Structure 1
């Protein structure tokens, strides 16, 4: 069962992830959760409809009533699972993985991610369990959730206060376009002065413009060019299942997800002072600075959607953000959304007489960051020890909360093993010193690559 990863299911279609496995996972979900109702959807990949059908067959045969949302993004499943009070939510998607892959994301009641032990039970039941076929199978029906979903999204902004803006929107031939269309229709009805410039808009299982993953620099230039050519105020691009969105300023420059965390924390705390904001440990000085200035409270969590969501629930945080462009909202069942972030930035731009580049440049100047740098190494443990030995005498603080973090007077770094790939991931930030950032990035790169 190589398709079972740390938080979800993912593998090469018809080799690691087959229709039979999808059906067995459906039956396992029913057995482990004792679910009576489920909501299911899928992305635009060619294999997704048949993997979704197999999943539904497994659920129905186990006596679970299924509501099929059709082609959806992952966050639509999160919304519908809670909104419709379903016991299980399932999305067939491989998000930004190569075209030969597909995967399955699933959540339980109230859109809660499964714990490690529950996930292991589902895996073992898939491997060893015999599906419990009910004499009376579950009931199947299709369902249109879009109006309620858009209501939820727009509840995060006061539409009457939105100023005229032109936005480039790039779903990358994934499934975000239909949601933008629904928002656009609502904006027209409410006379909200937003103009959308649409590129690579239609879902296409062949992904003729490349697999959508704007985290990769080579994936950004098309959105950047469209912003400049159309003289837009901002650009927005999504990955395949749009649980992450990526923003570009009015000059077409990509905005690192780290600084978007600061923007969204600021947006929430302006209306909700004193609330908690959860962040991952990779880079956080800017986030902590903004949250403290806005009279909020920062809470650190390990990286990963299940861990962030659990931390937010346990401390009742209003918002959580990862530098990887995952943004989590208490108002959205503590789940991540790729639609709410850009709406909140539109709200922020409407409240201020500033361009987004001007707002972001203040944070970039105060807390320059390297962005995430990835290294393939033969032995990650040896590399981590070598790096620690080099810096430990001068470090003000060392912790192992999530990988190796070392802090100094004017800079810090986090170096951690990837949970999904054979990589070491490095992030560095400084207090207002771009030259120091450049020198420490070169120094650490040399240390990590040393053989």
Structure 2
């Protein structure tokens, strides 16, 4: 049995050879046996194979004795929301997010929407799948479950409706599921939405929804300029990540959005803790401190950030990869809450998005994440660390190597999934220095890689 669809944090693979209804049914049975769940939320994304895989998964869950509450076509965050809001034992979202069209997968959570990943149950589920199964003495029941109303109410609770003003906003769902929620929110908001690639369509007529790819950004950018919009927002397929464009159609690095959201959130809460990843940090630390909060660094990755947020009771957590986590959202990531908060900030401040962001880019210019394929990542990272740590002010290993000097810093880390090294560089208000150091580090990485 091919179990290669089981990854570190979730399941993803090609349909039908790596994931299919037969395997999905067994995964459902194994999930119940390993977790002991009795009541499970099931939802699925817009992919053509998703309804069939979700049905088979539900059959397996019920055969093992669990009741299935089917929330239907939705985004990953709706499974997170429904699992915690209705106090279920677990939830499973059938999605492959921004993977190729012929792929599918699953994201699993336990009680309170705590992630189930390889270090807390996912490997046990994988190992249980090939073994024989017996039906439970009593089959679980199936119930369609309507969560959209409660979910929309929850989203609207993050913003002060009275402070919102009419604005034109470009929304690009990438033919994923986000458009369905924008249509629901539209009835409650004073915004005029310009809808791009809006219809949910698993054929992905405009390519796989992944706004992090530069070639996918132009359509949002052009629409912002054409309609004179206040901002643009684009989502991935299961809309747990959102990406921002300012009123000039410029794509905004996720790093600066983390700082903006932390600031906006702390203004509401009057302080609290904010969790951030170690790749780029200075802007976030600066804004959090100014807003009376405490910034705490965590290893990159949703399972680490969510756990650290729980440990610290943090109000918000952000990664530069466009994942944003909220305490009141069961510490889970949402692609809808962030843009509502940014829209609220634009309405309250009367400022443009570019003016809010430009000052931060000027204060802490950053390289953005640069990926390089390298034969021996640990060796290259160790050699760079040895060379640069000598004159450094601070060296940290929260995730990879973070090396800090007075006026610039960098983080160099390995990918969890491929032989790639990821570099991020930032400086204090010095663009030439940031560019010079980025070029210097890339040249050194290449030299070390060639030396082998």
TM-score class, shorter-chain normalisation, is over 0.9
For the residues of structure 1 that align with 2:437 and 2:168, how far apart are their CA atoms? 39
Alignment correspondent of 1:190: none
**1:98 is paired with a residue of what secondary structure?**
coil
SS in 2 for 1:369: coil
Deviates more, 1:61-70 or 1:337-346: 61-70
Kindly state the Cα deviation for residue 19 of structure 1 after the two structures are TM-superposed. Answer: 1.9
Report the counterpart of residue 212 of structure 2 in structure 1: 215
Map Cα deviations across residues 70-92 of structure 1 (whole Å, 9 max, x no partner).
11110010011112221111111
Q: What residue number does 1:121 align with? A: 124
Per-residue deviation, 1:305 = 0.5
For each residue in 1:177-206, what CA deviation from the matched residue of structure 2 results, as whole angstroms up to 9, or x when unmatched? 11000001233xxxxx21100010111111
Q: Deviations over 1:398-443 (max 9, x none)?
A: 2222111111111111111111333111111111010011111111
Q: Is structure 2 residue 42 aligned with structure 1 residue 45?
A: no
Name the counterpart of 2:275.
Answer: 278
1:2-401 equivalent positions in 2, closer than 5 A: 2-114=4-116, 116-128=119-131, 130-187=132-189, 193-401=190-398
Distance in 1 (CA, whole Å) between partners of 2:252 and 2:260 is 11
Deviation at 1:117, TM superposition (A): 3.1
Alpha-carbon shift at residue 97 of structure 1 (Å): 1.0
SS at match of 2:129: helix
Q: Secondary structure at the match of 1:117?
A: coil
Tell me the distance in 2 between the aligned counterparts of 1:421 and 1:240.
22
Give aligned pairs, total. Answer: 445
Deviates more, 1:404-413 or 1:386-395: 386-395
User: Following the alignment from structure 1 to structure 2, what is the Cα–Cα distance between the partners of residues 111 and 235?
Assistant: 30
> How far does residue 396 in structure 1 lie from its aligned partner after superposition?
1.8
RMSD: 1.1
Deviation of 1:120 (Å) = 2.2
Q: Distance in 1 between matches of 2:386 and 2:49?
A: 48
Contact 1:27 1:132 in 2 (8 A): no
Aligned residues of 1:31 and 1:132 also touching (Cα < 8 A)? no
Task: Flag the 1:117–1:81 CA change in 2: closer, same or farther, 3 A.
Answer: closer
SS state of the match for residue 232, structure 1?
Answer: coil
Report if the CA contact (8 A) 1:276-1:315 is conserved: yes
> Is the 1:89–1:108 contact (alpha carbons within 8 Å) kept by the matching residues of 2?
yes
What do residues 232-253 of structure 1 show as CA deviations (whole Å, max 9, x unaligned)?
0000000000000001000000
Distance 2:432 2:98 in 1: 34
| Alignment partners' CA distance in 1, 2:424 and 2:27 | 36
